[in-house]
């Protein structure tokens, strides 16, 4: 299992292959298209991330001491952003998720290329995933 560090380095490397932000946006959208979607039963207010302009549902569960995330969004770019976060954090130990420093976001320039409302949504997604990591340290599902 690759660490959070390893996965962040991979993403930074992936993004370095693109010449401009239009290509990077296309890549993010493609990532969103390949995201394993959350089951319809979890597309409820309980799983909705507060603070996002788009609707984003996120569910986390523990399997074999690791946290696995599933998500969906009604916006293609947001679905791609949550797919990036899932790529880094899903399958990690809860304690590692709760204390993670997701520096790849700044290194690839993602936040500075999002509108202020999307940037706030990104922050809300990161916070929610970290909260799940902290909350799941002694539980099986959230």
Residues classed as catalytic: 52
Q: Could you tell me how far CA 27 lies from the centroid of its own chain?
A: 15
Tokens standing for 103?
Answer: 């520096």
* 53 burial via Cβ count (<10 Å: 0-12, 13-18, 19+): middle
């Amino acid at each position: 299992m690759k660490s959070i560090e390893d996965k962040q380095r991979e993403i930074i490397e992936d993004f370095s292959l693109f010449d401009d932000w239009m290509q990077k946006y296309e890549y993010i959208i493609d990532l969103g298209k390949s995201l394993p979607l959350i089951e319809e039963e979890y597309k409820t207010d309980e799983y909705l991330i507060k603070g996002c302009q788009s609707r984003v549902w996120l569910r986390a569960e523990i399997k074999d001491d690791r946290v696995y995330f599933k998500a969906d969004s009604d916006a293609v770019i947001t679905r791609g952003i949550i797919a990036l976060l899932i790529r880094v954090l899903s399958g990690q130990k809860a304690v590692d998720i709760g204390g993670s420093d997701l520096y790849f976001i700044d290194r690839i320039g993602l936040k500075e290329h999002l509108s202020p409302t999307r940037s706030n949504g990104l922050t809300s997604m990161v916070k929610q995933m970290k909260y799940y990591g902290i909350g799941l340290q002694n539980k099986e599902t959230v």
